[in-house]
């Protein structure tokens, strides 16, 4: 296994175009090979322009299943919903034909909803064809927040779970939404293609620093073990 496939750009439009083309190619290849494709997407400002551009691509979207990398434990229609975010990015586009699999399922907590979420995700093609991640300035990715409750279980490479619950109480970046559901590291690592979007020089610096730290303090470091199966799109200015 080689090192991370690092792709750096001098401006945001170039990064967005290249990342979109890469994601589109992955989905197109999966559709050509099997007639269906699966993609797990993250929320946040970093991927939004990529998703909006991807949504316009002429893919056989009715064969694509879209799931979430993580979710704040709030129902659709409430502030913070990643499900709403993804639906908004795909609104009024060809990608509206994709089959969307949310994580929130009405249970009182993320822990209570794990079994139902696992059952829903089991209907998607696994291992996932594509997993798209972002990163916070605290070194978290997905809902793997530094030193958060449940983090060690989430990062267990031998876990058989696809999703797990995270208690982000005390994690400033998590804000008021501390009850989270997230893909496990094992599920991310099993994905055929993993993409990390870092659309600022500051985020790239945080990522590079994370590679020198304890993974529980900078959980994005866990992705280092993916080698060249991790494609990083970064802004180098």
pLDDT digits (tens, 9 = 90+) for 156-213: 999 999 999 999 999 999 999 999 999 999 999 999 999 999 999 999 999 999 999 9
Neighbours of 33 (CB within 10 A): 10
Q: What is the pLDDT of residue 1?
A: 56
Cβ contacts of 164 within 8 Å, gap of 6 or more = 114, 150, 153, 154, 181, 182, 184
Half-sphere exposure of 144 (CA within 13 A, CB side): 30
Task: Using DSSP, state whether 206 is helix, strand or coil.
Answer: helix
Average pLDDT for consecutive 10-residue bins of the chain (237 residues)?
Answer: 89 97 98 98 93 98 98 96 97 98 98 98 96 97 98 98 98 94 98 97 96 98 96 93
| Token reading at 121 | 């995700």
Q: What is the pLDDT of residue 108?
A: 98
Beta-strand relationship, 5-9 and 230-235: parallel
Question: Domains of the chain (ranges plus CATH)?
Answer: 5-235 (3.40.50.1360)
> Which helix (H) or strand (E) segment is 36 a member of?
none
Q: What is the pLDDT of residue 180?
A: 98
Instruction: Look at the pTM and tell me if it is higher than 0.75.
Output: yes
Task: Using DSSP, state whether 183 is helix, strand or coil.
Answer: strand
Q: What is the pLDDT of residue 219?
A: 98
Q: What is the pLDDT of residue 44?
A: 87
Q: Is 79 exposed, middle or buried (0-12, 13-18, 19+ CB in 10 A)?
A: exposed
End-to-end, the C-alpha distance of the chain in Å comes to 29
Distance between alpha carbon 47 and the CA centroid of its chain, in Å? 9
């Amino acid at each position: 296994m080689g090192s991370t496939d690092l792709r750096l750009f001098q401006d945001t439009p170039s990064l967005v175009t290249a990342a979109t083309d890469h994601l589109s190619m992955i989905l197109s290849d999966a559709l050509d090979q099997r007639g269906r494709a699966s993609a797990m997407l993250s929320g946040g400002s970093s991927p939004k322009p990529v998703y909006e551009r991807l949504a316009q691509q002429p893919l056989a979207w009715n064969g694509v299943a879209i799931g979430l990398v993580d979710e704040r434990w709030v129902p659709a229609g409430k502030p913070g919903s990643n499900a709403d975010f993804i639906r908004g990015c795909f609104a009024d586009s060809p990608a509206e034909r994709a089959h969307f699999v949310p994580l929130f399922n009405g249970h009182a907590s993320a822990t209570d909803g794990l079994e139902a979420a696992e059952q829903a995700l089991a209907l998607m093609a696994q291992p996932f064809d594509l997993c798209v991640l972002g990163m916070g300035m605290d070194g978290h990715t997905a809902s793997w927040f530094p030193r958060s409750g449940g983090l060690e279980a989430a990062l267990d490479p031998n876990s058989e779970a696809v999703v797990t619950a995270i208690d982000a109480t005390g994690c400033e970046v998590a804000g008021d939404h501390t009850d989270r559901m997230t893909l496990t590291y094992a599920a991310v690592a099993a994905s055929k293609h993993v993409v990390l979007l870092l659309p600022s020089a500051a985020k790239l610096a945080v990522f590079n620093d994370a590679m020198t730290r304890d993974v529980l303090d900078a959980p994005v470091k866990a992705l280092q073990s993916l080698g060249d199966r991790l494609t990083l799109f970064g802004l180098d200015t």
